[in-house]
A and B are shown apart, each in its own frame.
Chain A
């Protein structure tokens, strides 16, 4: 029997651990678990067909992919996925070819629409994206491959037909005007209005990649990125390089405290790229630290401006997050002391006592103030007690009870006040029940 019980308990533990971490835990597992999901597959399949009938093949495909995962029998879904993939593939190729044909016929808008149609069906279809970027989106910088003996002056003469623009070549490439450029070096040049469109003849993608990598090694990440973007971005090597450059940029941005920029740069890197998750953790840590520092600065600011209650609330919240932080702890102690002092100055002794109830015993001024407040409250309680007695003698029982209650608030140890309240209430009850 013991063995049976042990087995059952072990199973319960295993089931619970199996469900741990799911969004809704065990309840979700029972309500929306595999059986419920499998029961939805017919409904999801129907929705997938509706998406397809509207021409949204890509979304329909994603719906079918879900069905293939949740259905008890995924055979139909798998067939549909295969059929849809084939259909998408054929349509994408067709649109792309029609786009190229339209380009040959100098129908710019027609070509654009065909490339966009291909992209709509397959958002990852790089040839169409490349055509769109190349022909319909301009970028203000062009790439020029330098030859042997080139200098900024010779490049300016060749590209801008004006040697006086050598300073531009130098500025855009961090060179001096008379510096000799290495053979094969890729130079970034502005696209001036009179610059011929074709300034990048004969660049081979591997050259661009090599140069981009060299710039990356030389820590010119912006230059490396511009060069890498000129290469074939459908090439996995180029993609990897661009992502690696972006991750380096994020690292630098985090290190220099430019966290908003880091967040933006990191968003361009795909989630599955190696190193993104660890960078993301680093970014989140830095963002949390920035928030903590900003909150601490706010709390300090409130303290400096004499808003001690506000400063106390803020610093106490921070202390919950960082209980060991001596700076925060000091701010909490000082804020509490100064806020309590303010209350004392305004004669609000009860609130001051409440505030000082959690004061740090090692902080001498707080301890002294706490004692001063206690003494003051004892005196106040005696005053209220005497007032109560006066009212009692004058048969004003309600007023007497009110005064004694105040006395008790000031000094809960004043037992005679509590006893007198009981007596007065009893008397009041008797009076009220008298015929």
Chain B
């Protein structure tokens, strides 16, 4: 290379140009996609769809959770993904409470009750009906949410898939472990099971080992008191104070027992036999339960009382039509 002053100047100019272009490139990089990513607000992220991408792969890549695929679909108005097309990824819930111009979300909560010894229902019939119910839910696009998701929905801090449902069971018998849990696992569903802790391990009942395995498999264990007797029924002649102490002991013992066996706080309560009054709900709230379930039917919008969650009772006499009719996921209202 010559040392001619013109060559030297040309080299300096080229170096300068490369430097400027490089700095611009770096600036553009940080100004573009990554700047959006660093934003903690509600502005969505724009991404280019790669060949073979689905809402699930995008959810895994950008939201770190494949179960959030529905959010990407809903945020893009269910538009089909086209390779190299633009898709928007929401960074935060965009429809809290499931509020839309035509109404708001309702979360149906199903409850399966223990058929009990008096029932003449054959086990195979129960298993077949339960599978029918669950298959219907799967085929009709329902998502079985967790109790934690429901609580976040009630707290107005979490958004749920449009067709969300919570499956619960007030059951002691092994039927839940033997028939219901395997079907739900197969279909990718979860559920909360409520037990009366004083009867865990009874004849034909689930044991603590069963409950621990269910818990480890992603099911949720709540309590129905220690003995499973209605807390709203006062014995004849029993004083108000004695009755209160019995209610407290029933809930306290059940809570402590579950916590001791599972090593996690017992946050869910199903009022035994659905018996409920203001005092029982207040005791449940003060004792640290996060949610409590009744046996009465009704709506569960986001502003519902967490200590009076309504449930729909289903059993093996609930036919497909009756079953589907009860599952209302939207409450119509003019919110335009």
Contacts and interface: CB of A to CB of B under 8 A. Distances in A.
Chain A CB within 10 A, most for which of B32, B93, B99, B240: B32
Contacts of B22: 11, 14-15
A164 B241 contact: yes
Contacts of B157: 267-268
Contacts of B244: 167-168, 171
B278 A267 contact: no
A165 interface: yes
B278 A190 contact: yes
Given A7-B19, A19-B29, A63-B88, A132 B303 contact: yes
Interface in A254-288: 257-261, 263-264, 267-268, 271-272
Interface stretch (A26-34, A337-345, A386-394): A26-34
B189 to A, nearest CB: 19
Contacts of A188: 286
A216 interface: no
Consensus secondary structure, chain A interface? helix
Contacts of B66: none
B36 A59 contact: no
A137 B263 CA distance: 32
Nearest to B155: A268
A138 B279 contact: no
What is the size category of the interface that chain B forms with chain A? 35 or more
A136 B299 CA distance: 12
Contacts of A59: 75, 94
A222 B278 contact: no
Interface string B22-47: 11011011111111110011111011
Interface residues of A, number: 81
Contacts of B31: 34
Contacts of A117: 334-336
Given A32-B48, A133-B303, A191 B290 contact: no
A43 B19 contact: no
Contact of B26 (A15, A70, A189, A261): A15
A18 B25 contact: yes
B151 interface: yes
A151 B304 CA distance: 34
B88 A139 contact: no
- A-B pairs with the 10 shortest C-beta distances? A190-B282, A34-B32, A32-B48, A11-B22, A140-B281, A120-B99, A18-B26, A55-B101, A140-B282, A117-B335
13 contacts: A3-B11, A4-B14, A14-B22, A22-B29, A40-B86, A65-B42, A116-B335, A137-B304, A140-B285, A141-B282, A190-B279, A258-B264, A272-B40
Interface of B: 1, 11, 14-15, 18-19, 22-23, 25-26, 28-37, 40-44, 46-48, 61-62, 75, 77, 86, 88, 90, 93-94, 96-97, 99-101, 104, 148, 151-152, 155-158, 240-241, 244, 248, 263-265, 267, 277-279, 281-286, 288, 290, 303-305, 307-308, 333-336
